[in-house]
Amino acid sequence: MRAILVLIAASFAASVPDTNWWETALVYQIYPRSFKDTNDDGIGDLNGITSKLDYLKKTGVDAIWLSPIFLSPMYDFGYDISDYRQIAPEYGTMEDFQNLIKTAKEVGIRVVLDLVPNHTSNESDWFIRSVRREPHYENYYIWADGIPDPEHPGELLPPSNWISVFGNGAWEYNKERGQYYLHQFVIGQPDLNYREPKVQQEMNDVIRFWLDKGVSGFRVDAVIYLYEADSKNYNGSYPDEPLSGKKGFDSDDYDYLNHIYTRDLNETYDVIYNWRDVMDEYIEKDGENKLMMTEAYTSLANVMKYYGTGKRNGSVPFNFSLLENINNQSTAFDIKLVIDKWMTYMPVGKTANWVNGNHDQSRLASRLGDSRVDAMNMLALILPGIAVTYQGEEIGMTDGFVSLNDTKDPQALNPTDPIKYWKKSRDPERTPYHWDASKHAGFSQTTGKTWLPIADNYKTLNLAAQMSAEKSHYKFYKDVATARKCCALREGDLHVKALSESLLVVTRLLPGTPGIIGLINLSSQEQIADLSSIKLLPNKLLVVASGVDCELEIGAPYLKSNLPLSGHCAAVLKTADNCC
């Protein structure tokens, strides 16, 4: 009887779709332009990504998220899309993309694309048709009449005082249509109008187009900006936003205003839930649940709404709390609070996620210092849920130096400010990946320049060097990523304990399987960690991974009451030899 039940259970498991793959996934963000160039034009490409899939799999990566690869004039490096269904020629062809998908399937890596629904490029066919007021497209964007300027008769003022995220007015006049259009980012990124059902239909079709090509989900860009105040409620016009009162901001800075009419509107969440439904159409067909991660830099209360409501499923909103709230002075108490806060506010039954970097944020090693790289990478990898790694964080890359002359980021050049450009520039975290110590860091064989300069520490800080070193950020990262296969890191209960200002302990325990323990010494002095107060742990612990500043020996046993942690040590231990 027991044997029959086991057989039934096994055949059921085989036919049930792998719905949960992303709940414990290690998602690696690739910024295609800076990852690997195979046609020697100084710009990364799809074939470059394909050539590294095997290596990524061996590192422990489950899925790659590609920053936009679609046709674009590249004012905002792909976040300004002119055709959602075409590949940017500098990145390759549709055939290259299909080859990438095929190879990824073979090696067992899932591919997640960037969906940029808030705005298109002003070179998009939709925009060109909307400018011409072609009937179907007339309301695809936020168009509004100018306001007659009382001081200069015959001239027009923008419809409202709204400011773009990158600075300066958010309205641009279009002569041909005789109206202003809204752009919450650069002028070349007109905002789509989500009050127009046809726009929602278009985006649903774009999602289906790529799911049909075999992708496993989307990272959804800038969702908080999807809706603006409905002009119908304001006699056809758009209301001015009030001043924020924040100090130190000029009248053309985004933070000068309080954005009550241009972000976080309640209508937003339903659109996200609808996209979830579209993706769920594929569960049976593809035998997997699709991942949707949403980018929302907003209040925690708003972020949590992206998970869904009681009735409707949503997405996994990025958890930017490690990025935003931890610095090089943060204590173990601070880090515990940041972790606990997310876990406390997250709705029951949802999947957490942990992010240490992306293409919009200064790099981990530059923000927190090299001595905290292992600790933060380890946290992202051993906390429950999805770990998100931005390319290069696994080797502790630093921000590169990019002169004003070499600067490409529109956020830094809007308008060009020779003094302050670097404060806003995101180019330093986008400099090409350091594969090895050869010319252009092994990123490209171009005889000219790479699209952004290579950071000048690449000769010593690169993947090849870290692979052959006895200890390195990469080796530690890989060891911890490997430990993610242990049941305790997939399903185990989480306990975070600050033993002191500088000692943090994270335990993941699951009855019946070996437990996993993460240890961090934030100070530069050796500290003895005594875990006697954690009663569920056995006396003997084995080292699984030991960071660059850690003297604990991999495989060696230690007593839980006496764990000597050298300055800046980050380490992972387990309670027994096997894994699950």
Tell whether residue 368 is a contact of ligand NOJ (CB under 6 A): no
3-state secondary structure of 197: helix
**Residue in 191, 202, 221, 479 annotated catalytic:** 221
Tell whether residue 76 is a contact of ligand NOJ (CB under 6 A): yes
Tell whether residue 269 is a contact of ligand NOJ (CB under 6 A): no
Tokens of 145: 């009449």
Tell whether residue 185 is a contact of ligand NOJ (CB under 6 A): yes
Cα separation, 288 vs 280, whole angstroms: 9
3-state secondary structure of 137: helix
Tell whether residue 360 is a contact of ligand NOJ (CB under 6 A): yes
Strands of 377-526, DSSP E: 386-390, 493-498, 503-509, 516-521
**Residue in 37, 114, 228, 295 annotated catalytic:** 295
Tell whether residue 222 is a contact of ligand NOJ (CB under 6 A): yes
Tell whether residue 31 is a contact of ligand NOJ (CB under 6 A): no
Tell whether residue 84 is a contact of ligand NOJ (CB under 6 A): no
Q: Report, in Å, the least distance between residue 40 CB and ligand NOJ.
A: 26
Q: Report, in Å, the least distance between residue 159 CB and ligand NOJ.
A: 21
Looking at residue 512, what DSSP letter applies?
Answer: T
Residue 295 annotated in active site: yes
Binding to ligand NOJ by CB under 6 A, coded x per residue (else -) over 101-140, reads ---------------x------------------------
Tell whether residue 79 is a contact of ligand NOJ (CB under 6 A): yes
Tell whether residue 221 is a contact of ligand NOJ (CB under 6 A): yes
Q: Report, in Å, the least distance between residue 221 CB and ligand NOJ.
A: 5
Cα separation, 539 vs 217, whole angstroms: 43
Q: Is the CB of 264 or the CB of 295 nearer to ligand NOJ?
A: 295
Q: Are strands 143-144 and 217-220 parallel, antiparallel or unpaired?
A: unpaired
Residues 284-323 interacting with ligand NOJ (rule: CB under 6 A) = 295
Sheet of strand 171-174: strand arrangement: 143-144, 179-182, 171-174
The 10 Å Cβ neighbour count of residue 504 is 26
Q: Is the CB of 303 or the CB of 548 nearer to ligand NOJ?
A: 303
* DSSP, residue by residue, 227-289: ----GGGGTTS-PPPPB---TT--TTSGGGB--TTTSS-TTHHHHHHHHHHHHHTTHHHHTBP
Q: Report, in Å, the least distance between residue 352 CB and ligand NOJ.
A: 21
Cα separation, 109 vs 63, whole angstroms: 5
Size of the site for ligand NOJ (CB under 6 A): 9
Q: Is the CB of 398 or the CB of 425 nearer to ligand NOJ?
A: 425
Q: Are strands 503-509 and 516-521 parallel, antiparallel or unpaired?
A: antiparallel
Q: Is the CB of 79 or the CB of 143 nearer to ligand NOJ?
A: 79
Q: Is the CB of 424 or the CB of 471 nearer to ligand NOJ?
A: 424
Q: Is the CB of 80 or the CB of 96 nearer to ligand NOJ?
A: 80
Cα separation, 261 vs 160, whole angstroms: 11
Q: Is the CB of 116 or the CB of 506 nearer to ligand NOJ?
A: 116
Tell whether residue 253 is a contact of ligand NOJ (CB under 6 A): no
The 10 Å Cβ neighbour count of residue 477 is 27
Q: What length does the chain have?
A: 580
Tell whether residue 443 is a contact of ligand NOJ (CB under 6 A): no
Which position's Cβ is nearest ligand NOJ?
A: 79
Residue 221 annotated in active site: yes
532 contacts: CB under 8 Å, gap ≥ 6: 560, 561
Q: Write out the catalytic residue numbers.
A: 221, 295
Contacting residues toward ligand NOJ, per CB under 6 A: 76, 79, 116, 185, 221-222, 295, 359-360
